[in-house]
Every structure is written in C-alpha cells, then in structure tokens.
Amino acid sequence: MSAQQHEEAHTGPIKTPSQAMWVSMAAFVLPVFIIIGLVFFVVSDKKPAAGTTNMEKSVAERIQKVGTVEIRDANRPLKSGEAVYQAQCIACHGAGLAGAPKFGDRGAWAARIKNSFDSLVNSALKGKGAMSAQGGGEHNDTEVARAVAFMANAAGAKFAEPAAPAAAK
C-alpha cells in the first residue's frame, strides 16, 4: 500500500474548505426551515378537520340534546292482549327462547298460573330472568296485563282480560 492510498483512506467526503462551508450551512439552515414550517402548520387556521369538513355540522353534533320527550295519546283505544302478544311477546314466547314458556304449553305455564295473575303481570312489567321489563315501553301496563291474560288463558287459565282504567277527574 502506498502512502497516498493510505492517506486517502482516512479522509472524509469533504475535501475542500468550500465543501465544508456548504455542509455547515446546510446543517444549520435546513433544520431551521423545517422548524419554521412546522410552526406555521401548527398555528395555521386551515388544518384538515378530523372526519368532517363542515364546522357547523361538527359543532351541532357535539352539542346535540341528550334525550327527547315523547308525548303519547292517552285517549287512544287499548290494544287487545292478542295484538300486544303479536307485536311484542311472540318473539320469545312463540318459540320458547331463553326459558320463556311457549304459547299454549300447558305444562310450562301450569306453575306460573298457580301464582296469582298479579304476580304474572308484575313479572312482565318489571322483568324476570332473561325477560326484560315490558313496562314503560310501547305498550302501557293495562295492555301488557291483557297480553299476560291472553297467553295464560291459551295455556288453560281462566283470567279475565283487564279493562281500561277509569279516567282521572
């Protein structure tokens, strides 16, 4: 190995003073411009919105009401027990899902019928086991009681269908 080859092996890519000046300028100026660009991006008003481009729509979504009030007609005619059964109860009691006694199954309903009609209605309104509470939903308490009487009577009970409550004076 010659002396010249040995000397070139230990030198860097910068060989002249002008190259050193350009590299040191770039090493200082380039990070400064990157920092200035980031600062302008952070403080600018034209940032892309997260998911929406309409500011009014996004504000309206954030300040929307939590709940609503629904006013029902208290003077509407009561639905029959069969109508309530078809609308609400058939989903589980038609097939016997989640331990629900099947419609018309005397054996499954016998122990329940031995309890009072009021206990059956209470279980329907407040829920029991896997059955959710039916009170306060689409049907009023008298309609739910009519559905209970309809299902129990189909299994051999002799419950009278509840009448509409007297109007308050």
Q: Would you state the pLDDT for residue 168?
A: 47
Average pLDDT for 154-167: 76
Can you name the residues that pair with 131 across neighbouring β-strands? Answer: 128
Residue 92 domain-assigned?
yes
Q: What percent of the chain has pLDDT over 70?
A: 85
Is residue 95's pLDDT more than 70? yes
More confident residue, 124 or 168: 124
- Output phi, psi for 98, to 5 deg: 55, 35
Q: Is 81 exposed, middle or buried (0-12, 13-18, 19+ CB in 10 A)?
A: buried
Give the domain CATH number at 89. Answer: 1.10.760.10
Note whether residue 66 is domain-resident.
Answer: no
- The answer to whether position 70 is within a domain reads no
Total-model pTM: 0.54
Rounded to the nearest angstrom, the gap between the alpha carbon of residue 47 and the centroid of all alpha carbons in its chain is: 30
pLDDT at 169 over 60: no
Over the chain, what is the mean pLDDT?
79
pLDDT band, residue 166 (cuts 50/70/90): low
What number of CA atoms fall less than 13 Å from residue 127's CA on the CB side? 10
Task: Give the Cα separation of 146 and 99 in Å (integer).
Answer: 21
* pLDDT confidence bin for 57, thresholds 50/70/90: confident
- Which residue range forms the structural domain that includes residue 100? 81-154
Q: Please, which residues have CB within 8 angstroms of residue 96's CB and are 6 or more apart in sequence?
A: 102, 105, 108
Q: Does 76 reside within a domain?
A: no
Write the single-letter amino acid at 61. E
Flag whether 54 is in a domain: no
Q: From CA 157, how far away is CA 101, in angstroms rounded?
A: 14
107 in a structural domain: yes
Report the domain count for the chain. 1
Looking at the domain assignment, is residue 105 inside a domain? Answer: yes
Between 126 and 46, residue with greater pLDDT: 126
Q: What local confidence, expressed as pLDDT, does residue 145 receive?
A: 85
